[in-house]
Amino acid sequence: MNRKVIIGAAGFVGSAISTELEQMGHEVVRVTRSDVDLAISGASEKLSRIISDGDTVVLAAAEAPCKSTAQFQTNIRMMCELLDAVSVAQLEKIVYISSDAVYSDSSRPLTEESPAVPDSLHGVMHRTREMLLVTSRHPRLILRPTLIYGPADPHNGYGPNRFVRAARTGSEVVLFGDGEEMRDHVHISDVAYYAARAIESQLGVINIASGELRSFCELATKAVALSGGKSEIFKQPRRGPMPHGGYRAFDISRLRSVLEFRSMTLPEIAIEKEFHRYGT
């Protein structure tokens, strides 16, 4: 069984995937920024001393969300340093943890064949990194998770994580507009489960999503209800168009067909568990 070298193993996603792989019995080499900082020019030489022939190398590190050209340049440099580090190695495969942000908006559920023409800098960054992998001679797997939520998320992004944290402290839960947009939310435990199994066995592109749609209003209402009246919803007027036209759904047929499928975590159940994690 070959080693799994996880770059970004201290991060939200990288840490969860590393733990899942270890529980499956794999030898995992956790590489953090303190070990190798890919944002620094010349990091490839240091990384090359960690990687061995036969390894599977997973890039789960990024400056995200990417909101500036400086961040874009840093993220591209990170991928280039990785590719330089593995240029002479004989790897089992390279795995890139990308994002659904690479996809264009669509009125239909997204699949792996949907057009990857991003309309955000964050999406352009991930798509550029994916395209750089084409220059590598190693077999490759690209995983594109949708909006991830769950314990230990460091970003506190708009959605379930932020709603729970606000409601648990009795603060207002802020919705943009009426929070009516419908989208897929995937729990970190499901991302780790499917990513670990895909890393072990798959090549190509696989989306990781729940296949379920929830509105932000539904999830905010659930979090507020758990507060027992200590929190309430505040609706903030939108300053721009509704993201993704208010619809971001996924057809997860490929995920179901190529990996051992298990029931996905329902966001309303996850919200309740997280709310009570530290008491009310």
The number of CA neighbours under 13 Å toward the Cβ of 129 is 35
The pLDDT score that the predictor gives to residue 155 is 83
Tokens of 243: 């993201």
Map tokens 């029931």 to a residue: 263
Q: What is the pTM of this model?
A: 0.95
Query: pLDDT band at residue 275, thresholds of 50, 70 and 90?
Result: confident
Q: Is 110 within 8 Å of 90 (Cβ atoms)? A: no
Does residue 76 carry a pLDDT above 70?
yes
Residue 162 DSSP label: H
Euclidean distance between the first and the last CA atom of the chain, given in angstroms as a whole number: 45
Query: pLDDT band at residue 278, thresholds of 50, 70 and 90?
Result: low
All CATH 3.40.50.720 domain ranges of the chain, comma separated, are 4-148+184-208
The pLDDT score that the predictor gives to residue 203 is 96
Domain 152-183+212-245+264-275 has CATH 3.40.50.10490: no
Q: What is the pLDDT of residues 232-259, one digit of tens each?
A: 999 999 998 999 999 999 999 999 999 9
Q: What is the pLDDT of residues 87-126, one digit of tens each?
A: 999 999 999 999 999 999 999 999 999 999 999 999 999 9
N residues, the chain: 280
The CA-based dihedral angle spanning residues 16, 22, 25, 26, taken in that order and rounded to the nearest 10 degrees: 100
The number of CA neighbours under 13 Å toward the Cβ of 44 is 15
Q: What is the pLDDT of residues 12-61, one digit of tens each?
A: 999 999 999 999 999 999 999 999 999 998 899 999 999 999 999 999 99
User: What is the C-alpha to C-alpha distance for residues 168 and 235, in angstroms, rounded to an integer?
Assistant: 18
Residue 245 burial (10 A CB sphere; 0-12, 13-18, 19+): exposed
Q: Is 102 within 8 Å of 126 (Cβ atoms)? A: yes
Q: What is the pLDDT of residues 204-213, one digit of tens each?
A: 999 999 999 9
The number of CA neighbours under 13 Å toward the Cβ of 166 is 24
The pLDDT score that the predictor gives to residue 280 is 45
Which residue from 46, 42, 65, 58 is spatially nearest to 5, judged by alpha carbons?
Answer: 58
All CATH 3.90.25.10 domain ranges of the chain, comma separated, are 152-183+212-245+264-275
The pLDDT score that the predictor gives to residue 277 is 77
Q: Which CATH number fits domain 4-148+184-208: 3.90.700.10, 3.10.129.10, 3.65.10.10, 3.40.50.720?
A: 3.40.50.720
